[in-house]
């Protein structure tokens, strides 16, 4: 994880959130980015490895403890440089899920999602 990513993880932990770092250096295409997100958030085995399935899992998170979950995607620029179309697609799903599970989102459970791209 980058230095900026470590700093974001410390901030999340300090406020009582659950940090979930991604090593963006390993997310070089859409498939590896989905795998990295799934691993960071301990997605269930039924995760279908599609963008729709990504959204479904990101807006559920019922297998994780209640509270704020901070997905920290360090070096996201690697995917952006190698496959800009995939980057934009994944980033769009992350943004949509963050809105759905953010403080002003429409979810009534006690899990929230924050996405941080520190680079």
pLDDT digits (tens, 9 = 90+) for 50-98: 999 999 999 999 999 999 999 999 999 999 999 999 999 999 999 999 9
Q: How far is CA 111 from CA 73, 74, 86, 101, 118, in A?
A: 19, 22, 27, 7, 22
What is the domain range of residue 109? 3-116
Answer yes or no: is pLDDT of 108 > 60.
no
Answer yes or no: is pLDDT of 5 > 60.
no
The stretch 96-114 carries a mean pLDDT of: 76
* Residue 53 pLDDT: 97
* Residue 107 pLDDT: 52
d(CA 99, CA 89): 16
N-term to C-term CA, the chain: 11
Pair 61, 113: CB distance under 8 Å: yes
* Residue 85 pLDDT: 97
Total domains, the chain: 1
* Residue 7 pLDDT: 73
Residue 29's domain is classified under what CATH number? 3.30.370.10
């Amino acid at each position: 994880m980058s230095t900026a990513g470590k700093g974001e993880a410390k901030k999340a932990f300090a406020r009582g959130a659950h940090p979930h770092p991604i090593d963006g250096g390993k997310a070089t295409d859409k498939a590896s980015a989905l795998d990295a997100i799934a691993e960071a958030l301990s997605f269930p085995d039924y995760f279908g490895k599609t963008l729709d399935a990504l959204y479904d899992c990101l807006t559920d998170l019922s297998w994780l403890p209640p509270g704020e979950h901070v997905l920290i995607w360090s070096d996201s620029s690697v995917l952006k440089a190698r496959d800009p179309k995939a980057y934009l697609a994944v980033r769009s799903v992350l943004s949509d899920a963050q809105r759905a599970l953010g403080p002003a989102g429409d979810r009534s459970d006690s899990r929230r999602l924050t996405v941080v791209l520190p680079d």
